[in-house]
Amino acid sequence: MNNDTAHGARRTEAAFGEVYGTAPAGTWAAPGRVNLIGEHTDYNDGFVMPLALPHTTTAAAAPRTDGVLRLHSGNVKGGIVELRTDALRPAPDGGWAAYPAGVLWAMREAGLPVDGGADLHFDSVVPTGAGLSSSAALEVATALALNDLYGLGLDGQELARLAQRAENAFVGVPCGIMDQTASACCTEGHALLLDTRDLTRRQVPFDLAAAGLRLLVVDTRVQHELGDGAYAERRAGCERAARALGVRALRDVAYDGLRQALESLADEAAVRPLVRHIVTENRRVQEVMARLDAGDPRGIGPLLTAGHASLRDDFAVSCAELDLVVAAANEAGALGARMTGGGFGGSAIVLVEEAEAEAVGKAVTEAFAAAGHAAPRIFTAVPSAGARRLA
C-alpha cells in the first residue's frame, strides 16, 4: 500500500468513526478506469481494453444484524441515508445512494445472505461525470466490502456481475460489464483485454514509461449522464440491428462482411452507422493488441484517433470539447487521441512522447481557453491495481 492509499484508508476509517461512533470492521478500495480502446462494444458482446486508475473510491464498513443499511459519503452533502434491506426496490431516481444500495439488493436477489445490513462510509477521488467510471468504483467497493463482511467468497468477476446488475436493474443504466470488471479485476502495470461475451481476460503488460511514452487523461469537465436516455438509445439501436441481421450480437458481424451487412440494412438507415462503429471498433481492439504484442506501443496512436472519428461520426457520442482535445493534441504532436467512456462529455485520452507531454497538455489548455471553455484537468493514466482490501 503506497503512502497516498494508506492516508486515504486512515482518513476513511476516521470519518467512519465520526459518522457512526464506532470503528469499522475494515476498509476497501476500488478504482476508476480509462478505456484504452473498445468503446460501446461491451454491450455488443465485443472486446474492450480498459486499465485501472490510481484514483479510487474507498469504503469503510461494518456489518449489522438488524436489517438496516446505512450509507454516508464524504463527497455528497447531507447526512446518513438509512434503508431497510428487505424494502429495497429499484430506484432510478435514487441519487448516489442507489448505487451501493443496488449492490446489496442484487446480492439479496441472488440469494446471498446479506439481510443483516451494514454501515458504510465512502470517500472518493474518482472524478464524477468524467467518463472514468466513478459509479462502477462505488459499486465494486461496496460489493467487495459486503463480500468480506459476510464471507461470501465471491471472486472479482462475480462481484463485477453483481455490480453491473445493480446499475442495470436498480439504478436503471443499461451499461455493459466493462467498467465493473475493470474496477474489480485490473492489475497494476497492465491493461485488461476482456472478451465481454465469455468474460475471458488477459492481463496485458502496459508500461508506457519504459517506452518513453505517456498516456494523458484530459477531463473536459463537461459532465455526462448516461441515464439521460441517449446511451440507452444507442444500445437499443445496436440490438435492433443485430435482430435485423439475424445475429446474437453485433460482435458476430465479421469485419470482412461489414459491407454486406450494411447493404442488407438498407431499410434500417438509422442503425447502419452504429453497426459500422461496433464492427470496426472490435477490429481496432484486435489491432491494438497486435501492436502491443509486437512491442510497438507507438503504433496504437493512429488507432486511437481512428476510434475517435468513429465515435464522433458513426456513433455520435462525442461533443465539441472532446473533439477539440483530439484535434489540438494531434496538431501539437500527439501520437493519437480519442474520447474515452460513454461519451456526451467526460474525458479523452492522449498518447504522447514523454518529452512532448507538457507541450501537448499546454496546447490543449490553450485551445480550450481560446474557445471559451473552462480549463480541462489533465493527468497521467498510470495502470493501477483493481479492487482490494486496505485494512
Active site residues: 179
Q: Which residue has the cell 462505488?
A: 138
Tell whether the torsion through CA atoms of 139, 144, 149 and 154 is positive or negative.
Answer: positive
Question: Which string of DSSP letters, residue by residue, matches 144-183?
Answer: HHHHHHTT----HHHHHHHHHHIIIIII-----SHHHHHH
Q: Coil, strand, or helix at residue 292?
A: helix
Distance between CA atoms of residues 125 and 47, nearest Å: 28
Coil, helix or strand at residue 388: strand
> Based on C-alpha coordinates, what's the Rg of the chain?
21
| E strands in 220-363 | 336-340, 347-353
Q: Are 33 and 83 in contact (CB under 8 A)?
A: no
Residue type, 156: G
* SS (HEC) of 352-371: EEHHHHHHHHHHHHHHHHHH
Please tell me the distance from the alpha carbon of residue 275 to that of residue 149, in angstroms, as a whole number. Answer: 44
User: What is the spatial order of strands in the sheet that 336-340 belongs to?
Assistant: 336-340, 347-353, 213-219, 377-380
